Amino acid sequence: MNLKVLVVGHGAREHAIAKKIVESDAELHAAMGSRNPGIAGLSKRSEIMDITDTDRYAKFGDVDVAFIGPEAALAAGVTDRLNELGVPVVGPTREASKLEWSKAYTRLFLSDHGIEGNPEYSICRTGGEIREFLDAHAEVAVKPDVLTGGKGVRITGEHLKSREEVEAYAMERIGSDGLVVLEPRLVGREFTLQAFTDGKSVSVMPLVRDYKRAFDGDRGPNTGSMGSYSREDHGLPGLSEASVRRGVSIMEHTVRELTATGEAFRGVLYGGFMETEEGVYLLEYNSRFGDPEAMNVLALLKRPLLDVGWEIIDGRLSDLGFEMKATVCVYIVPDGYPVDPKRGSEVRIKQPKSSELFFASVHEEDGAILTTGSRSVALLAKGESISEAREKVYGDVPGIEGALFHRRDIGEGV
Ligand code: GLY
């Protein structure tokens, strides 16, 4: 009998997870905030529901295993709830995922457990504490303590033009969250590491670079990300192997210490790092696959994701194995995204020739695919090189029509 596998979430990342799961002939069940037509089409049962409402999961007590995509569901304790129902989950508990949903907790966790990678930081609860930090540091990063969909961190010189703007934003966050984390602005090369972990070993995936800004040349507002690439050698241009090893060692140490506290992290840990002249610093942790980074790495994963999931749950994670190919992923988003996205407008899709298509935040009405307020569709292509993958994916982009735009420079010049 086929295993019943629940996938939680309705974005392109979850569509990518769902596609990998059904490769194992599993019976797919889906819990989605809105109807992703790609996931729904693969599923035996799909429920449209508030995926953070843990009471709504009683109906999934009959599934054999669950994969959780979005951080909001992890932070709400969906893993804990499913575990109570006897369902093993690939995705950390609420407590273990605190690494993502509380930036202050993560800084303190690293400090308290002697884990390297923290920059100087201040957890501020008053205007006086903010001003004291700003007197010592002309340029800072203001980090909300809570989940902000990747759009909450603001940096002097990039998003905040003056000390007054920094103070105002930091005070706004204290007003809404009770506290805010301030750190000096770090200058260097940013990179991220995604790793599967069973709470013991940490198995790193090919490195991926994503593009957060809305427009070509890294201009415009921050978005959930407009695309990403990974190279055939699984590295990133200019990034030293020593820095990658340092990042991995910070993640391994964090995982060990979490397990020692009784809160083993089982799932995907995503570390954002900065390589600087002084060393490698942890910028932040995410407790799940990146989106779009999941598409890049899952396209290369040679083994069935379901098998990897069982190894994570059983605490016997073994070698992964990824194809030595390049990938380029391009998001196609509604005009006006992210500030004033054109909602409810039709997306007309021709089947791509050389790329894989993932639905993101669209909804289907009377057979038509319509935009919502977020990214619509992602296309991903693999190639022997980045230029081959770019050629394939950009060759298919014109087949996605509507009041939409995309970046033209994903993977350019790397
Ligand atoms: N691409 C960044 C993220 O998923 O948070």
Please give the Cα distance from 362 to 39 (Å, whole number). 12
The pLDDT tens digits of the residues spanning 289-341 come to: 999 999 999 999 999 999 999 999 999 999 889 999 999 999 999 999 999 99
Structural domain boundaries in the chain: 4-93, 120-184, 188-314, 326-405
Q: Is the CB of 100 under 6 A from ligand 1?
A: no
* 268 confidence band (pLDDT: 50, 70, 90): very high
According to DSSP, the β-strands at 180-184 and 404-405 are unpaired
List 401's β-bridge partners, or say none. Answer: 348
Q: Shortest CA distance to 184 belongs to which of 143, 221, 125, 148?
A: 143
The pLDDT tens digits of the residues spanning 338-369 come to: 999 999 999 999 999 999 999 999 988 888 99
Please give the Cα distance from 244 to 234 (Å, whole number). 11
Per-residue tokens: 73: 């569901």
For residue 169, the SS3 value is helix
The strand ranges marked E within 189-278 are 189-197, 202-204, 209-210, 213-215, 219-222, 227-230, 267-276
Whether 221 contacts 247, CB under 8 Å: no
Which of 71, 192, 210, 380 for mutating ligand 1's site (highest number of atoms within 8 Å of CB)?
Answer: 210
Q: Is the CB of 150 under 6 A from ligand 1?
A: yes
Instruction: Report which secondary-structure segment, H or E, holds 124.
Output: strand 122-124
Q: What is 326-405's CATH topology? A: Glycinamide Ribonucleotide Synthetase; Chain A, domain 4 (3.90.600)
Matching CATH topology for 120-184 and 188-314?
no
Averaged pLDDT for residues 261-282: 97
DSSP 8-state symbol, 323: -
Q: What is 188-314's CATH topology? A: D-amino Acid Aminotransferase; Chain A, domain 1 (3.30.470)
Please give the Cα distance from 192 to 78 (Å, whole number). 26
For 4-93, give the CATH class. Answer: alpha beta
The pLDDT tens digits of the residues spanning 192-205 come to: 999 999 999 999 99
Q: Is 277 exposed, middle or buried (0-12, 13-18, 19+ CB in 10 A)?
A: exposed
Centroid of chain to Cα 180: 22
Q: Shortest CA distance to 168 belongs to which of 139, 137, 132, 131?
A: 131
List 400's β-bridge partners, or say none. Answer: 349
Residue 1 has pLDDT above 80, yes or no: no
> Taking all residues of the chain, what is their mean pLDDT, rounded to a whole number?
97
Q: Is the CB of 11 under 6 A from ligand 1?
A: no
CATH architecture of 120-184: 2-Layer Sandwich (3.30)
User: Within 13 Å of residue 154, how many CA atoms lie on the same side as its CB?
Assistant: 19
The pLDDT tens digits of the residues spanning 380-401 come to: 999 999 999 999 999 999 999 9
Please give the Cα distance from 408 to 388 (Å, whole number). 15
Distance between Cα 213 and ligand 1 center (Å): 12
Q: Which position has the token pair 């990042």?
A: 247
User: Could you identify the atom of ligand 1 that is nearest to the CA of residue 289?
Assistant: 4
**Residue identifier of the C-alpha nearest atom 2 of ligand 1:** 290
